[in-house]
Structure 1
């Protein structure tokens, strides 16, 4: 049976059909189809026939592979909606896997049979059949891995064109190097006079591939740092949110008691007008209760609590604190974002003021609706040096990573509502302006805001 030409033609047909089926699966996994299924299958059948004919006539392996790769690129370009660079990368990945599985299958059979000369393997038809079977099993395993991890190349990941090129370089380089090494091992290069030149090209490609890998490693490190930063931001936002929710719950309970308790104290005070000690004691209790009384001026309870807490901190640190915020028409902003925006603005301002040893320490924050935008302006005194480059703030603090999370938190929240953040500073003051549209407008008004308009009630 192994000597039958019909048997081997059948093996070639089945083997090539399996390869092209896995190639189609690869295309379907990575890309969106733009042609009818019948067109794609028909082109793959033609590709199968061409490959089988070239195998039967014993075409040079390198020429046959070049024709197969060219056919695969044509089929991919014609039938799927992808960029040329992405198609080139995916085809290279497939053929790199194809060659890799074939080489791995050869090494497995050589090891199992104790053969060192690869030519013995190709001259023994039974061993060659085993190589074909193992190769196709490994290709099927590769397809199963792709299906398991459900790779969606360049759909979930935002890969830029420049980065795609650097990814393509090592893939293509490794593909060519494996092809060259395989050709040398099988003796396919023995008849080529320019094999030394091919080796030189292969070596240079390896060097270029290493440079591209260095770039990719740098990108991976930066991506890892970004994930750490995002995690820190998320943890800080959740902490702030939970903190103010707890304060809100506590204040709601106190509010329930405040009115009745205050009336009781007035009655007791009237009953003990002659007793100075009891009067002083009652006044102290009233003062303690007033500490819990909400500012209740913004129209949002969470924001009132934030301002009340920051005002208390400013009072302890001798910082003049002035607020004028009307938040009544801004209920579209989520509670967690209210916490993030205002707590971070005021924390940064308090931190800057606390660096001042002598001189005025002040914070002025105002917010109102102006021309269909909710505009927030916060100004604080400062003495520290601030560097700004491409809208990024650089600090004189040693912990530069932790610093800046507050500004990033603010920007992330504002951008959720198609808003904008602008920062200005002089030698003695720092100003942050926030513009959040409250209508369908998508463009933020350019320029600053009128200080007299915003601060008119301060």
Structure 2
């Protein structure tokens, strides 16, 4: 491969194919480290090596083909980038199309910037050598991709899909294709308003830079909007949990009054001769007793109502709820935060446990205890492993604060807010949330800092 072929006036615009392949691979590698990966570290390293080798081989073959195959080669290069991203990342096809467009424009800009600066260096010092070319490529690529990585990772949330629409995908692709066409049209013909024979490299670099900025800005705005919508959704979830609590308070009062009427059931049972009516009265009494057994007394009235309500839900779904709770430890927690914290913890646990087919295994345990300067809220529930989507094949998996377990529902933008709201409550009170899955048990552990 001729590394200095671009210095020939005829091939003045050519970037070495090897450098082009490296730029495309580095652009892909940037998004490997920004977006959520599909596999573990060992597999990821192997995939990185393979994608680099394939990209280099493809560009080598493309360099041998006649110039008439240039457009086909470029489409093929984009296709290889798309395939690499789709196989490595846990990503949807449309999302991958957006990421690929960003990566391709980034690679074009990096390659163009390298060429621009190296040509300028050659003209300035009249020093053309493969060593100088390689050194310039390394410097430009390192600076470009490191800066881009640090900026772009703030535009993409690492723990959720982009969920782009077809309209958004088309808009991004048009921007990328438009930047590519305008930046390269001078190399095809000089008979256009965008052609500049003497300043081809300047035009190419500036247009690629402009296209890259447009895509990054649009991604940033989209991320801001997504975060705003997510914040609104979580706030609505907080409010909904609180409304459920207020409704449960009213229901609890009604149920307590009904317990006072137990003597009327007994009298009705004594005086009832009809067997069917007697059976109906007995059924009402059993239901009232079950309700009474469900009443919790933790020392915190708010938590009592929540646990009583969830306990009744568990009874209807044949789920055993064991609660060992010291409600006095939650005296400094706001009512709405208690509602959100325990409401979401138990809702998630109930939803997962009710999917276990074996009724005898449907179990949820909840505990609230004090350890050192923290109040520890811990909830474990049996869970069908097919309903827990882990990010590795390990038997035990822990999830950090910014790496929540993936929702089993289709749209992880609209769903999965329960755990995020739990995490927000924990952070509000100087603590943190941790999730883990082991041997069929899913555990949520929340630390809340004590004021005293």
TM-score scaled by length of structure 2? 0.48
Please say which structure displays the higher CA radius of gyration. Answer: 1
Asked which structure has the greater RCO (Cα within 8 Å, sep 6+), the reply is 2
